[in-house]
Structure 1
Amino acid sequence: MKVPKDECNVVGFINHEVATLGEFPFSGKVYMAPGVVKHVMRKHGKDLGKYIISHIEDYIEEIITNPEYVGCHPKKVGTSLELVKKLDKNLLVALEVDLEEDYIYVASFYPITPSKLENRIFSGRFKENCIDCDKKVQYN
């Protein structure tokens, strides 16, 4: 059951550059329903740890504000965005768009193993989000 936008908290903003990197045709405020915390605790609580669980909204805001990697779910291209940042663990925020009410919302939040992260980078599913990419040295 989807929650109306006016019952959600704003937890960040997706800019045009990040949206484009993730093949996501939407930018703007990101909303989080109260039920997301319950979902994350039920599905991923053991993997996240007590400190992260007690600061979920802060972690989600940090990842949305400054993701290291951006991608999308292969079965939801154009309507989903995945943001990853290496903090205490590799953490992924899954975003989706509600096309009826026209807003971006947090669908899930969970840790991703280093091997899954590397595989998704290697396959091209995740792209590095960097400001100075053109200044990096490329080796062939």
Structure 2
Amino acid sequence: MIVKDSIKELLGLETEVSEIEYSKHGLKRHLEKRKHYDVLKYLNHIKDIIENPDYVGLNTNGNKMALEYVKCYKKNIQLVLKINKTKDKFFIISMYSINDYKLNSRKFSGRLKKVDKK
């Protein structure tokens, strides 16, 4: 899986890094530890979320940067990706549901941008 150039362009992200990696087992353990049980059933949808997101965003906090992908199923599922600087790859660090209020707030503030379906 990769971060598409169209997503980078939409977010104004300038990086050569595109490849995405994750450990399904490691992510599942993380979700269970954080009690994100409601999103476990979406683990098999990660490829769909990456390839066909409804919204994407860039969360910058100090020197840290995270890409956010949101796909609206029955719940709004958000994937969070960060760059692994030693491997020059993005990796999925978390996955959780966000309610409609949070989704709408992030859209209104400009943090999340709608992805055009082509």
User: TM (normalized to structure 2)?
Assistant: 0.85
Question: How far does residue 93 in structure 1 lie from its aligned partner after superposition?
Answer: 0.4
Indicate if the aligned counterparts of 1:92 and 1:111 stay in contact, CA closer than 8 A.
Answer: yes
Q: Is 2:103 aligned against 1:128?
A: no
Identify which range, 84-93 or 31-40, moves more after superposition.
Answer: 31-40
- In 2, Cα distance between equivalents of 1:78 and 1:16: 21
Identify which range, 14-23 or 73-82, moves more after superposition.
Answer: 73-82
Indicate if the aligned counterparts of 1:24 and 1:77 stay in contact, CA closer than 8 A.
Answer: no
Q: Is 2:86 aligned against 1:103?
A: no
Structure 2 spans left out of the alignment, 5+ residues? none
Question: How far does residue 76 in structure 1 lie from its aligned partner after superposition?
Answer: 6.0
Identify which range, 108-117 or 22-31, moves more after superposition.
Answer: 22-31
Aligned length: 116
Letter in 2 for 1:28: S
Question: How far does residue 75 in structure 1 lie from its aligned partner after superposition?
Answer: 0.8
Structure 1 spans left out of the alignment, 5+ residues? 1-11, 133-140
**Pairing partner for 2:32 from 37, 41, 45:** 41
The structure-2 alpha-carbon separation of the partners of 1:63 and 1:116, relative to structure 1 and needing over 3 Å to count, comes to same
Q: Is 2:68 aligned against 1:82?
A: yes
Question: How far does residue 70 in structure 1 lie from its aligned partner after superposition?
Answer: 0.6
- In 2, Cα distance between equivalents of 1:78 and 1:22: 16
Computing the radius of gyration over CA atoms, which structure comes out larger, 1 or 2? 1
- Other-structure match for 1:15: 4
User: TM (normalized to structure 1)?
Assistant: 0.73
- In 1, Cα distance between equivalents of 2:63 and 2:89: 16
- The sequence identity of aligned pairs, in percent, is 26
